[in-house]
Amino acid sequence: MAELRRHPDLPAARASLPPGAARLPAAMVAGALMVAAPVVVAPVVVAPVVAAFLASRPALAAEPHAAPSDAASSRHSALTRGTVTGWKLPRFASLEADVVNVRRGPGTRYPIDWVYHRRGLPVEIIREFGNWRQVRMPDGTTGWIYHALLTGIRGFLVTAPDTTLRRAPRPDSGAVAHLRRGVIGTLRHCEAGAAWCAVRVHQMRGWLPRSVFFGTYPNEAVGSR
């Protein structure tokens, strides 16, 4: 079962969950890989997947270079390219490390709101500021992550309660594995406009419909064969 853990810098008596955050059901945040025949995937959780609390204390001082203002944010929402990389926004990335701090602003002097323990979790980059990226998590929570903790390798998160990894992109194709909500894997290939994507979950390869996972935009082309 998913576990929430207080960040060590936060006072236990005053910690509280941010309103509206952590909307993922426990099974979804925890992840699950069932392996059976065909290969069933049962919840296997070794470490907490997402551990976070928000301190009820004044925000810390900002970095020497101030974060973008609200006015700048509204202007930025109309842009399609990042101000640092020039790459399109929004775009998908994945968590690169086993422990990732999600901060309230773009710098180490901003407080940590969330700590994620889920390498490979897909997130959306929605803004850029220096070496920091503002991201939207699968449950809609937003925060800032240092760029080196993100990777362009595309991942996916199963959002359907139960789904089947197929040998071919057809609903009647043979089953490779049965995946439960919260399973994380790697996107191998999605044709533009196609309803199915080629994916990998651990060492198993197969096909999933886009409708059962988080990690691509509608009709987006991803990767190569």
pLDDT digits (tens, 9 = 90+) for 173-214: 999 999 999 999 999 999 999 999 999 999 999 999 999 999
Q: Which segments of the chain belong to CATH 2.30.30.40? A: 65-153, 156-223
pLDDT-based confidence at residue 225 (cuts at 50, 70, 90):
low
- Contacting residues for 31 by C-beta, under 8 A, at least 6 apart: 43, 44, 45, 49, 118, 182, 183, 184
Rounded CA separation 133/37 (Å):
41
Task: Give residue-wise pLDDT tens across range 27-38.
Answer: 333 333 333 344
DSSP state of 29: H
pLDDT attached to residue 5: 39
Q: What percent of the chain shows pLDDT beyond 70?
A: 64
Mean pLDDT of 208-221: 96
Rounded CA separation 144/205 (Å):
32
What kind of architecture, by CATH, is found in domain 156-223? Roll (2.30)
Task: Give residue-wise pLDDT tens across range 75-91.
Answer: 444 448 999 999 999 99
Average pLDDT, the chain: 75
Q: Are 68 and 75 in contact (CB under 8 A)?
A: no
What is the number of other CB atoms lying within 10 angstroms of the CB of residue 208? 27
The CA-based dihedral angle spanning residues 137, 120, 9, 48, taken in that order and rounded to the nearest 10 degrees: 100
pTM for the model stands at 0.68
Can you name the CATH fold of 65-153?
SH3 type barrels. (2.30.30)
Pick the more confident residue, 144 or 18: 144
Element (H, E) at 70: helix 70-76
